[in-house]
């Protein structure tokens, strides 16, 4: 769980929305991120993957920057509803 949360934080920090440069400007940067965070089950990455990762990253950014807890919970629940995982 700690590794997963750290990975999400590191992912969000690649966003220009945090005030820096785009940290995932292309597939090589995404590949480096996947390898450095030891994300399993990932083979060949595509431009579609890059776009989807960027969308998820921005969704998590909205969770972390929500003005209050209820808004953060609603935003996170909306994000989770689009996945096949069951949070515990």
Most distant CA pair in the chain: distance in Å?
A: 38
Indicate the pTM of the whole model.
Answer: 0.84
Tell me if 72 sits within 8 A of 66, measured CB to CB: yes
Percent of the chain with pLDDT over 90: 73
Rounded Cα distance between 56 and 60, Å, is 6
Instruction: Specify the pLDDT at position 54.
Output: 97
pLDDT for position 3 = 75
């Amino acid at each position: 769980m700690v590794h997963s949360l750290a990975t999400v934080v590191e992912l969000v920090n690649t966003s220009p929305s945090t005030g820096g440069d785009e940290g995932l400007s292309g597939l090589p940067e995404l590949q480096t991120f996947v390898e450095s965070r030891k994300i399993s089950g990932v083979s060949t990455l595509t431009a579609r993957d890059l776009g989807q990762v960027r969308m998820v990253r921005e969704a998590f950014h909205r969770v972390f920057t929500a003005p209050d807890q209820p808004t953060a919970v609603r935003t996170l629940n909306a994000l989770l509803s689009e996945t096949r995982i069951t949070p515990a």
